[in-house]
Structure 1
Amino acid sequence: MTQGHDRTSSNSILNQQDRPAHKPTYCAVSDFFSRENIRNVLIYAPVGICILHRMRIHWANPACHAMTGHEYLSLQGKSARTLFPTDKEFKRVHNTFITEIDQTRSATVDSRLSRVDGTAFDCRLRACRLDPGDHSQGLLIFVSDITEIKSEQIRENQARKMEAIGVLAGGISHDFNNLLMALQGHLSLMGVNVNRPEKIKHHIRQINRLIETAAEITGNLLGFARGGKYQVEPLDINQVVEIALTVFQPGKENIVIEKKLDPDLYKVNADRSQLEQMLLNLLVNGAQAMVDGGTLTIATHNITIDATDIFHFAVTPGAYVEISVQDTGIGMDETIQKKIFDPFFSTKIPGDMKGQGLGLSTVFGIVKNHGGFITVESKKNAGSLFRVALPGLAPVDVQRFGEENDAFDLMPKGGETVLIVDDEKEVLQVGADLLDALGYQVLQARNGVECLDLVTKYPGKIVLVILDLVMPVMDGKETFYRIQKLDPGIKMLISSGVSIDEETKMMLRGGCHKFLQKPFSMDRFSRVIREILDKPA
């Protein structure tokens, strides 16, 4: 088919109602490009072939009709939209075709096509222009049914997910069993040393430390699950880096830490504790890679990603803050690099109890949860460079990190009536006891229905409701909206063991005053309560 070939002439080849009476036979290459042979190739091709002109079906071969359930030649003249389940999917494929063909002369898109019976199937569409030099000409589309391939991929992915969940559950149960054993030991020793106050204080300090460790594990899990943004606020990454470096203990005297921090850095909208966890994990990973010591370099700077920049994954163009952590350690080969973000993957010797095996998978989850991305560059015996990019913001004031004070005398107290709602008996009781110790008048409810009964019973008396989210009978979210209708003047604090989701964010925007992640200290609890109650309505 030459550039000046008339489209009507080609149509006379394709639009014959009857199929040839014989199947094509082998012929010399010089004789191949005859009308009859071209027609036979198009008709008997095992893949769908479709010619579009101005996004209307000019012609489609029997295979294309068969896979969509239409009678042969019944699609001719119809809009290509007929073959797609939704307008959105049709527009997506169309835009991709036009963009990629203009750039590379061909395009490949995985999509779904509709059948006559209303079902749909997975397909791979390959497209090129009939005449590359003339954009007014139509498109030649090849359609392959990849349903079985997709199904096999889904089965393989599901198997990998189940295997990962099994590894994850085993690792977490191991860590928590160790923590529970330590807690049980300290509680037993407290009973033995009941008349020795100095020993009791020692055990209390150790129990607090173990609780913090358990909270770190659950924080890692939430980060791994990409749901760990608890308290999002505009942050100065340089301040977060300084805090992480203050906490970081490399454990080796021959490790030199270098900082290269851009003073004019964009702010990022993020959870401070999660970013600190991410940086600490990267720093620890780098230090452990430098067996004989070396240099650990952490740097920050602004970057801009354009639509023309090429990545192996989807990246939204715009301004980003990049945090890089580079070590001069043993490095990694390509095989290891492909696994480093998997949960519980480790290059450590079996039996080495350092770390929980969630370090880099947690980093990956935290970064993705904040809308960013992470890359790694490494070679065997040549160190590693991790780059984290987080979406940047316009300059804003950032509140500095404040240390908590556990001294009871310094904790803010009150005398107002507070209603605490939680379905877990032990959690409800300890929450009530904390409130009572802080001087508040306490009411308790085990679910949303009991909570609403108490709000109705004591109109105008309850000033604050501390509300769990996950409860039977009536959950926290429904309870929240019911309370707003009953008494809009009541202030509300969400206290939950699950992380913030989109619906919780809506509650925070719609009148809820704070979100407090479990577990929390008494000092933190007391300060959040007073912050809510002392804020003007």
Structure 2
Amino acid sequence: MTGLDPAPGTATARSAATSPSPAGGRPRKLLALVGGAVVGGLIVVGQNHRYRLQGQRQVEQLAPSFAQQLWNLDLEAARDQARVILDTSDYRSVEVLHPDGQVFVRQAADLAGGPARWLSDRGLLPTIRYRVALTHLPPGEPAPEVIGTLEVARVDPGLRLYVQAALVVALGGLVANALRDRRRRRIAAAELQRAEERAAHLETRARLQEREQQLQEKRQLEALGQLAAGVAHDFNNVLTVVMGSAEVIDLATTDPTCRNTARTILDAAERAAHLTRQLLAFARRQVIELQPVQLNDEIEDFAPILRQALGDRLTLRLDLAPDLGVVQADPVQVEQVLLNLVVNARDAMPEGGSVDVVTRNLRGGEAIEGGAPVPEGRWVCVAVRDTGIGMDEETRARIFTPFFTTKSPGSGTGLGLATVDGIVQQLGGTITVASKPGRGTCFTVALPRDGDAVGSTAQHRIVSLDDDFDPRGKRVLVVEDRDAVREVMAAALTRHGFVVAAASDGLMALSLAAQQEEPFDILVTDLAMPDLSGVELAARMRRDRPDLKILFVSGDANAELGEDFASDDRTAVLSKPFGARRLVDRVRELLATHVRTTEEPPSD
């Protein structure tokens, strides 16, 4: 058997040693470097080339047994033999390799501490590496086949290391280097600490700036909301006069020109009223009339209008949960939210697509497919999901900001989503959005789930309407501090057969009530008046007439009714602006309402 690369093994040492002279006998001086500084020296004396040839032949004698074990794939026997060789010789390692370099067996001697281990760990222990090919001669073949390589490394016994007198200097250098390392580590630690402190300071400062910006934006929105609410409130009073007067003209004349003009005025006033409702919704000051609402029913009833808003290019798909819970909401506001979200989806799909309206019962952390998770709690959710152009993060952060719009000038007010946000928060809910550019958008509105009604022995009220109710002759006291609004209200009610008395404030209303021989059947009063508010007036009149019906008129949702009136079936709220027909219908409905108290819950 011949060796693969039959040249003799080469003595090697890592980092702080070099190969001995192949001729042998001539010493070579090596400088020891620690941390880039010369701290001592080593003198290496090598022996002659014949010694290494003798070592090569010894390794070649080991090759046949390893070749047989490799051919039989008896690697465990090969490992055992390698361990025996290492235990009984000065070999450092034995390796059996595949021709492509894959390691089959690798065993290393345990130097068991001491100087040899110290030198080996630092790459200063010179070794000779022998390499022999492992071959196998298959039957009938003329030449053997190389099946692997045996590689053996041993400590070069012909190399002696002489530590010069510079050892003392070397040790001193090592100590000095250790001290320098310690100082560098201390400096690095101090710099790291300062960097961490600077980073923490910058992070704290950034958080403070972010909070200040959020607080400033909140104050700006509150100020804008107060301004919008004030403008809308005053404008609603004007619109009430305009709408009521236009309806009176429409009813009082038969002239087609006059009637068309009156209806044009009404249409314009309705559009203006829609804008004021948006402003009030954004400011969370819109008057709402809460009642149990089944969102599935509202969506199905409102679906034709939604499809009309989408047009022919877009498809509306409904995915409604059959076990959907009930919420406390204003049906008109629910329709307003749905319409704004669907119109927003339509505008995001200029090339066409589909809009999904999905309802689900969700708990905290859950989400409708394609939407964002909802907060903790029990929610009834409705999601509007489109296949449109989507939004980037910057746009998504500003979509609920009033007057922000991505549409071209004149194409939108920028109040649609701000209105939705205001309505949802006014109802105690949340709205979340999930969107990515090119992957559509999903708005999820989550409203608190209303508790299921439970029968008990407590008193229950049964409310019914008298279909044959005749309003003629019913006495109405109208109290409104704005003259034009009061005159329009009184004229509309008088025209429909009511007996009307009008007062400009609460004190005047109490005086009129005291002078009447017959009591008033209903009080129609503005909520916000000087001296005596509408709630205070109603409370004082109820003392003498407990069954008095009361209709509060207001454009401000923040006006407090108090517990006595908020849950009273003989009390209602009419939000401004309104026309003559709506006022008359609301008064008729309230007067025609009969309330009966029973110990049993009402039957289905």
For the aligned pair, the TM-score class normalised by the smaller chain equals 0.5 to 0.7
- The question of whether the paired residues in 1 share the 8 Å contact of 2:284 and 2:422 is answered with yes
Residue of 471, 494, 499 corresponding to 1:413: 471
Contact 2:478 2:502 in 1 (8 A): yes
How many angstroms apart in 2 are the aligned matches of 1:162 and 1:502?
Answer: 20
Counterpart CA distance in 2 for 1:380 and 1:391 is: 31
1:331 equivalent to 2:404? Answer no
2:275 is aligned with 1:220: no
Pairing of 1:62-141 with structure 2 (within 5 A): none
Q: Is 1:297 aligned to residue 356 of structure 2? A: yes
The correspondence for 2:520, drawn from 462, 473, 484, is: 462
Between the aligned partners of 2:450 and 2:326, the Cα distance in structure 1 is: 5
> Are the counterparts in 2 of residues 234 and 269 from structure 1 also a CA contact under 8 Å?
yes
Aligned to 1:433: 491
Q: Aligned ranges for residues 98-497 of structure 1 at < 5 Å?
A: 152-153=212-213, 156-157=216-217, 160-161=220-221, 197-248=255-306, 249-250=308-309, 252-305=311-364, 317-352=376-411, 355-395=412-452, 413-458=471-516, 460-497=518-555
Return the letter of the residue paired with 1:341.
Answer: F
Alpha-carbon offset, residue 478 of structure 1: 1.8
Query: 2 CA distance for matches of 1:171 and 1:424?
Result: 16
- Post-superposition Cα deviations, 1:175-210, rounded to whole Å, max 9, x if no partner, equal x89x99xx89x99xx99xx99822223222222222
What is the distance in 1 between the residues matched to 2:253 and 2:330?
43
CA 1:457 to 1:159, structure 2 compared with 1: closer, same or farther past 3 Å?
Answer: closer
Select the residue among 563, 572, 590 that pairs with 1:514: 572
Residue aligned with 1:520, SS:
coil
CA distance in 2, matches of 1:381, 1:316: 27
1: CA distance, partners of 2:546 / 2:446: 41
Q: Is the CA contact 1:421–1:445 (under 8 Å) kept in the aligned structure 2?
A: yes
What do residues 330-354 of structure 1 show as CA deviations (whole Å, max 9, x unaligned)?
A: 11111110110000111011233xx
Number of the residue aligned with 1:534? 592
Question: What secondary structure does 2:449 align onto?
Answer: strand
Whether the 8 Å contact between 2:391 and 2:436 is mirrored in structure 1 is yes
Q: Tell me the amino acid that sits aligned with residue 385 of structure 1.
A: C
Shift of 1:283: 0.4
The 1:325/1:504 distance shift into structure 2, 3 A limit, reads same
Moved more, 241-250 or 444-453: 241-250
Percent identity, please: 33
8 Å Cα contact 1:319-1:392 kept in structure 2: yes
Any idea what the Cα deviations from partners look like across 1:441-476, whole Å, max 9, x if unmatched? 111100011011111112542111101011123221
State the SS of the aligned residue for 1:220: helix
Q: Deviation per CA, 1:282-316, whole angstroms, max 9, x where unpaired?
A: 00000011011111111111112269xxxxx9976
Partner of 2:9: none
Q: Do the aligned partners of residues 151 and 468 (structure 1) sit closer, same or farther apart at CA in structure 2, a change above 3 Å counting?
A: same
- Distance in 1, Cα, partners of 2:227 & 2:553: 30
Q: Is this contact kept in 2: 1:466–1:495, CA < 8 A?
A: yes
CA shift, 1:253, in A, is 1.8
Label 1:296 to 1:31 Cα distance change in 2 as closer, same or farther (>3 A). Answer: closer
SS in 2 for 1:343: coil
> CA RMSD, aligned part only?
4.6
What are the Cα deviations for residues 13-67 of structure 1, in whole angstroms up to 9, with x where unaligned? Answer: xxxxxxxxxxxxxx969899xxxx9xxx9xxxx9xxxxxxxxxxxxxxxxxxxxx
> How far apart in 1 are the matches of 2:293 and 2:407?
34
Check whether the contact 2:287–2:575 (CA below 8 A) recurs between aligned residues: no
Equivalent residue, structure 2, for 1:5: none
Task: Describe the superposition over 1:424-443 as per-residue Cα deviations: whole angstroms up to 9, x where unpaired.
Answer: 10110111111111111111
In structure 2, how many angstroms separate the alpha carbons of the residues matched to 1:195 and 1:30? Answer: 98
Partner of 2:124: none
Counterpart residue number, 2:78:
none
Closer, same or farther in 2 for the Cα pair 1:419/1:199, shift >3 Å?
A: same
Judging changes above 3 Å, is the alpha-carbon distance between structure 1 residues 161 and 420 closer, same or farther for their aligned structure 2 residues? Answer: same
Distance 1:326 1:300 in 2: 11
Partner of 2:26: none
Compared CA separation, residues 395 and 162, structure 1 to 2 (3 A)? closer
Larger radius of gyration: 2
CA contact (8 A) 2:489 2:583 kept: no
**2-structure distance, mates of 1:334, 1:306:** 21
1:314 & 1:292 partners in 2: Cα distance? 29
Checking the alignment, whether the CA contact within 8 Å between 1:467 and 1:476 is kept in structure 2 is yes
Q: 1:484 to 1:316 in 2, by over 3 A?
A: farther
Check conservation: 2:547, 2:570, Cα contact below 8 A. Answer: no
Go from structure 1 to structure 2 and tell me whether the alpha carbon gap of 1:330 and 1:411 turns closer, same or farther (over 3 Å shift).
farther
Which structure is higher in RCO with an 8 Å CA cutoff and minimum separation 6?
2
- Deviation of 1:169 after TM superposition, in Å, equals 9.5
* SS of the residue 1:485 aligns to: helix
**CA distance change for structure 1 residues 497 and 294 in 2, over 3 Å: closer, same or farther?**
same
- 1:502 offset after TM fit, Å? 4.3
Change in 2 beyond 3 A, CA 1:161/1:514:
closer
Quote the Cα distance in structure 1 between the aligned partners of 2:222 and 2:590. Answer: 43
CA separation in 1, counterparts of 2:538 and 2:219? 39
1:159–1:396 CA distance, 2 compared to 1 (3 A): closer
Structure 2 residue matching 1:299: 3-state secondary structure = strand
The one-letter amino acid paired with 1:156 is Q
Q: TM-score, normalised by structure 2?
A: 0.55
Residues 168 and 509 of structure 1: is their aligned pair in 2 closer, same or farther, counting only changes over 3 Å? closer
Give the Å deviation of 1:152: 5.0
Contact 2:222 2:283 in 1 (8 A): no
Give the conservation status (yes or no) of the 8 Å contact 2:523–2:538.
no
CA distance in 1: counterparts of 2:388 and 2:469, whole angstroms = 46
Query: Which residues in structure 2 correspond to 1:28-47 (within 5 Å)?
Result: none
**Which secondary structure state, in structure 2, belongs to the residue aligned with residue 462 of structure 1?**
coil
What CA distance in whole angstroms lies between the structure 2 residues aligned with 1:447 and 1:465? 13
How far apart are the structure 2 equivalents of 1:484 and 1:159? 40
Conserved 8 A contact 1:234-1:270: yes
Q: Is the 8 A contact 1:168 1:344 kept in 2?
A: no
For 1:415, give the aligned amino acid: G
CA distance in structure 1 between the partners assigned to 2:274 and 2:450 by the alignment: 28
Tell me which moved more, 293-302 or 242-251.
242-251
Give the SS at the match of 2:531: coil
Task: Please state how far the C-alpha of 1:254 moved relative to its aligned partner.
Answer: 1.5
1:139-160 CA-partner distances (Å, limit 9, x unpaired): xxxxx99999799558733774
Deviation at 1:223, TM superposition (A): 1.2
